[in-house]
Amino acid sequence: MIAYRAMVDVPREVVQYLARLLAAERRARGTRSGTRALTCFYQALLVLVWFRKGEDATLLGAGFGVSRATAYRYLAEGVTVLAEQAQDLHTPLRRVADDGWSYVILDGKLFDCDRLTETTLNVKQETIDAWYSGKHRDFGANIQAVMRPDGLPVWTSDAMPGHLHDLTCARQQGVTAALHWSAAELDLPALADSGYEGAGHGIKTPVKQPADGHRLDVDNRAFNRLLRGLRWQGERGFAILIGRWKALRHTTASPRRIGGIVAAALHLTHFEYKYLPGTC
């Protein structure tokens, strides 16, 4: 292999913050000083290089002077300590309301992963690929997210198999129940696309075209236009995450781990946006 100099465009404060989380994890595990191949700082740097650039773990490990197995172990540990900072959905909803926002955006996305052999039964009792989305014609994990009106994502869900519908995932993850609560208790409704039709109280979706081919009533057309005008910027949330953290664009890890990887990327994003708990 040939070594070369490289740089990663993340603030040093992010590396130091992650290093402190890793140091706390080592203390909790009882890791003795001097027994690790990398210090907490360089382990944090390794993790952030992977998130930012999506580097191959073997080459990344070689660049830091550790084996492929050690690189994977360090990456998994970094993802875990970041994902553990995630909060229950009710907490970020309260914060959005306290910050003066009048609504949130609900959206779902398929995060691309390698082809899998896991199968399941569909509603017709036919065997299908569990992680294949017929809508997107790709394999991946369905992740639900709640965004502020300006597009900043405030919460992401665990991974669900890609064959499931957005509304099914939102219900099984308890997202719809939390949004019903926020609409009723915080006066904070959620805006969503037509994939969430029938989600219930407080989750606003577009009015669909009549099945008989007639044009929508003018009031319904105005409602749909207003909804699109309010929702479009909030749907930038996934673009913020994927644009900043290249590792989210495709994963070779188990798709069940994608939820933790996205939650870790969300926490890094909150640090950079100064949106961690207790910050302004």
The answer to whether 138 and 110 have CB atoms below 8 angstroms apart is yes
pLDDT(280) > 60 = no
204: which strand partners? 191
Which of 277, 261, 237 shows the shortest CA–CA distance to 81?
A: 261
> Residue with structure tokens 């492929």?
68
The answer to whether 134 and 265 have CB atoms below 8 angstroms apart is no
The answer to whether 188 and 106 have CB atoms below 8 angstroms apart is no
Query: Mean pLDDT over residues 146-158, rounded?
Result: 97
Which of 109, 175, 187, 105 shows the shortest CA–CA distance to 147?
A: 105
pTM of the full predicted structure?
A: 0.93
Token couple for 157? 């869900």
Task: Express each pLDDT in 66-111 by its tens digit.
Answer: 999 999 999 999 999 999 999 999 999 999 999 999 999 999 999 9
At residue 279, the pLDDT reads 61
Task: Express each pLDDT in 162-211 by its tens digit.
Answer: 999 999 999 999 999 999 999 999 999 999 999 999 999 999 999 998 88
Backbone angles phi, psi at 138, to 5 degrees: -160, 160
pLDDT(145) > 80 = yes
Distance CA 4, CA 144 (A): 39
pLDDT(55) > 60 = yes
Domain boundaries defined on the chain: 12-83, 90-253
Task: Express each pLDDT in 197-238 by its tens digit.
Answer: 999 999 999 999 888 888 899 999 999 999 999 998 888 999
Backbone angles phi, psi at 73, to 5 degrees: -65, -40
Query: Mean pLDDT over residues 148-155, rounded?
Result: 97
